[in-house]
Amino acid sequence: MTPDSWWSKRTGCAKALMAESFRQGMGRPDGMERRLAAALGDLLARPGSLTRAVTAYLVGIQMGVPEGRARAMACGIEYLHTASLVFDDLPAMDDARVRRGMPTLHVLHGEGVAMLAALAMINRGYTLLWQGMGQASAGRRELAGEWVDRCLGTHGMIGGQSHDLGGWRDGQSVADVSEVAARKTGDLLRLTIVLPAMVGRGSEREIQLLDRLALLRGLAYQAADDVKDVIGGAGKSAGRDEELGRPNLVAAEGFHNAVARLGRLVEIGDRVQRMLPGPAERWGMLAPLRVGVPEGVEAIGLSLGSAVV
């Protein structure tokens, strides 16, 4: 069996395990208010790709975190991510109507119940994170707690979302767009792969490289998403960022430059991943975080080039 096929099988098993944890992690709905229970039931029935949960779980196992605690931590991260999407979809934010092929939660259950369901997932998510940290030394627990606050708080994902809502119609720079992406998208990936290393036996060098890699993969993911917003396809409507007045790398520096930047981010991320200690096969769980240039970009680029000529 090749390393790639071994990791594919291991990742598949981890995904099945995390899907079950995601569905069961909120506990039984007995005694829960019926509308809240229905909204949470809909959220838990649609776990999405679980990329963050699977990656966090496998990094935790690699770093020596006990299996049950690694699973709790990974599920907590996925709950926090899912809750952020509920808020992201609200009319006051992105006003999305569809998520994961189904009507968004506020469309199905109303804005108030949707927000309460998201808050319930945040509450449970933090509880699961603390459970995952339980076996770590006092020093590592303190470091991990500070990292959670840094990645999720006002200087992390929440701060990034706030910047995202700012007025961007009057012009945007690459630096500003990248700063929003680093906070809004990069910091959640930093939590995903750095926290398990902090809680486990990750060395200072491993933690530094994982942190750098997570930021690069997050920036690349957001750059690819910005490009897809322009070209459409793959379930994404074209021009949504422009319509809502949101930051977008293509708007900041043009289509060709944005695609070139995406390629550089992926390449630098690959170099950083190769610097991680041990054989490359040791870090196979990180492969799903790597994004490529979206389909259709080459054709769009040729069309734009012809138009310029």
Where are the chain's structural domains?
Answer: 3-292
* pLDDT confidence of residue 305: 44
Closest CA relative to residue 158, chosen from 178, 187, 136:
187
Token pair 């627990």: residue = 141
* Cβ atoms of 195 and 211 closer than 8 Å: no
Q: What are phi and psi of 99, to 5 degrees?
A: -145, 125
Write the CATH number of the domain with boundaries 3-292: 1.10.600.10
* pLDDT confidence of residue 297: 75
* pLDDT confidence of residue 47: 92
* pLDDT confidence of residue 99: 86
One pLDDT digit (tens) per residue for the chain, 309 residues: 898 899 999 999 999 999 999 999 999 888 999 999 999 999 999 999 999 999 999 999 999 999 999 999 999 999 999 999 999 999 998 888 888 888 999 999 999 999 999 999 999 999 999 999 999 999 999 999 999 999 999 999 999 999 888 777 777 899 999 999 999 999 999 999 999 999 999 999 999 999 999 999 999 999 999 998 888 755 555 677 888 888 999 999 999 999 999 999 999 999 999 999 999 999 999 999 999 888 777 655 544 444 332
